[in-house]
Amino acid sequence: MVESFRTWGARLTRASILGVLTFFFAFPFLWMLITAFKQTGDLYDLQHNPFLFYEPPTLEHVKRLFYETLYGQWLLNTAFVGVLVVLITIALAVPAGYALGRLSGGWGARLGIGIFLTYLVPPTLLFIPLSRVVVNLHLDDSLWSLVLVYPSFTVPFSAWLMMGFFKAIPRDVEEAAMIDGYSRLGAFFRVVVPISMSGILTVAIFSFTLVMQEFVYAVTFISSVRNMTVGIGVPTFLVHGDVYFWGSLMAGCFIASVPVAILYNFFVDRFISGFTMGAVK
């Protein structure tokens, strides 16, 4: 980049920006981790340095999390919804992305914009009518309501990402397959999909994280604790009135966030390339 970055002043600025902001981002997770393993007496003693362990770390909060709450059940619920929604998303978004990226004429670009506009109608508006729909379908308080509704926000962006990935594959490959004897659809399944596997995986991971994140629909449709996902179970149930079991709470937060982040990290590069590819119309 620019030569001036090599000067000391610039290096210092760069380091401090990075340092401060990275600390800002990561600190809550560090704090989650420490709180999760601190013994209660140590944790709530205002005289103690919160970063030091005055008593040895304990697993009691984690145990309480898994044995005395339905956290484990919530994890399973989230996984259940996640996997199903990912499958539905792939089934809908991959062909749609292909249509947008390859087979579009003028209406392709317009539909692309239309996809953006879908996000203008957010869950915080739709949850009101959808709550009625869910009740009428007798899906209230069921995880199936989430499975039904979640693709509405995973599919548009996933289709857009897939469009970007497909655009990056040269047409020659498909045309070679068509000369070899496949129809266009055959070429799509036999050639294009295998090549874009990593793109599809990226979309899968991204959709899964969207599912884990979701709060509004879950808190609206699900009422019994048994059926909660981790995203709403932790905030709503583990907070009993005004008594917060912070140790277990933080353990629950850590488990629900960091492992997925590690997985997501492997796919971030592809996500970025798909995003930029889609932006270059």
Partner 1 sequence: MEASTSVAHPQNSASRAKSRASILDSESWLGWLLIAPAVLYITLLVGLPFLMALYYSVSDTTTGGGSMGFVGLRNFTAVIGTPKFQTALKNTLTFGLISQVLILILSNALALALQRDFPGRRLIRFLILLPWVAPISIGTIAWLWIFDSTYSVLNWILRLTGLVQGQGYMWLGLPHLAMGSIIAVNIWRQLPLATVILLAGYGSIPQDIHDAAAVDGAGFWRHFFQVTLPLILPITLVALLFGLIFTFTDMVIIYNLTRGGPFDTTQVLASLAFYTGIAGGDLAEGAAIALFLFPLLLAVALGFLMIAHRTEVT
Q: Which of residues 179-238 bind partner 1 (CB under 8 A)?
A: 179-186, 209, 212-216, 219-220, 230-232, 234-235
Looking at the Cβ atoms of 9 and 56, the one nearer to partner 1 is 9
CA dist 153 and 84 (Å) reads 14
Question: Binding of partner 1 at residue 124 (CB under 8 A)?
Answer: yes
Q: b/e per residue, 83-105, with b = 16+ CB within 10 A? A: ebbbebbbebbbbbbbbbbbeee
Q: Which two tokens stand for residue 24?
A: 């800002």
Looking at the Cβ atoms of 10 and 59, the one nearer to partner 1 is 10
Restricting to residues 83-102, which ones interact with partner 1 according to CB under 8 A?
A: 91-93, 95-96, 98-100, 102
Q: In the complex, what is the shortest distance from the CB of residue 248 to partner 1, in angstroms, rounded to a whole number?
A: 12
Residues, the chain, total? 281
Looking at the Cβ atoms of 168 and 260, the one nearer to partner 1 is 260
Judged by CB under 8 A, which of 42, 82, 151, 227 binds partner 1?
151
DSSP-H helix ranges across 38-150:
40-43, 60-63, 71-102, 106-118, 123-136, 143-149
Q: In the complex, what is the shortest distance from the CB of residue 63 to partner 1, in angstroms, rounded to a whole number?
A: 20
Question: Binding of partner 1 at residue 119 (CB under 8 A)?
Answer: yes
Specify the 3-state DSSP secondary structure of 139. Answer: coil
Q: Which amino acid is at 198?
A: S
Q: Which two tokens stand for residue 65?
A: 């999390």
Looking at the Cβ atoms of 105 and 241, the one nearer to partner 1 is 105
Question: Binding of partner 1 at residue 143 (CB under 8 A)?
Answer: no
Restricting to residues 13-42, which ones interact with partner 1 according to CB under 8 A?
A: 14, 17-18, 21-22, 24-26, 28-29, 31-32, 35
β-strand partners of 240: 243
